[in-house]
Chains A and B, each alone.
Chain A
């Protein structure tokens, strides 16, 4: 249910006038909640930034998400995170 909660919180913050960007682990849920900007990541539950103690991968995910703040409208946008050469657990 975390993905619904993130979407609802993001939507509420956005409505208050602050642009938001969120990570999603579950596309099926985020497509229903439809928050403004979401990076869908191909990682297991509990691993929104990929892997523990891998700052480079974590930075890649964060950078891809932050890029969505610059993306042209129309909102909502739901973009897949793609990383080459990574074996997804």
Chain B
């Protein structure tokens, strides 16, 4: 189980003093169809990227708020991990990207008929963003806009 106490001392001090942000989403949306008829998109904050895409930049003060599109036909084992946070143990994800970006699991759900379809693209960000103003004002709305354009029915999100 993960707890703030599990983090290194600098991370603990930072997290205890940090004022976390929230974004008003009310009243909320609802899935009006069966999952077996729904198109799903994945969003991971594991900083995964295609080898030919630029890596996320860990040197940007406050965090890199950019995102990468990951095509639905990608071989997940080929994805690079740009995350550099010491709070994120990459050992498992390096063995199996599905641990943080379960595209193969969702392909299986589609083939079983549990899920309807996967979107033709999914989204990756580097979650270690301490100053999320740009994430809130630009990046997340851009991702949401693309999901709407793609007529995605639901989004599944994973942190690391």
Q: Which residues of A contact B (CB under 8 A)?
A: 1-26, 28-29, 32-36, 42-53, 55, 58-59, 62, 65-66, 69-70, 73, 75, 88
- For window 114-143 of chain B, which residues contact chain A by CB distance below 8 Å? 125, 127-130, 132, 135-136, 139-141, 143
Q: Which residues of B contact A (CB under 8 A)?
A: 1-4, 6-7, 15, 20-26, 28-31, 35, 43, 45-46, 63, 85, 87-93, 95-96, 98-100, 102, 104-106, 108-109, 125, 127-130, 132, 135-136, 139-141, 143-145, 147-148, 152-160
Please indicate the chain A residues that have their CB under 8 angstroms from the CB of B106 in the complex.
62
B30 to chain A, nearest CB (A): 6
Across the interface, do A16 and B156 meet the contact criterion of CB distance under 8 Å?
no
B80 to chain A, nearest CB (A): 16
Please indicate the chain A residues that have their CB under 8 angstroms from the CB of B87 in the complex.
45
Across the interface, do B147 and A59 meet the contact criterion of CB distance under 8 Å?
no
19 interchain pairs, CB-CB under 8 A: A2-B159, A5-B135, A5-B159, A6-B158, A10-B25, A11-B24, A12-B143, A13-B143, A14-B25, A16-B148, A18-B29, A18-B147, A20-B157, A36-B29, A44-B2, A44-B89, A46-B90, A48-B158, A62-B156
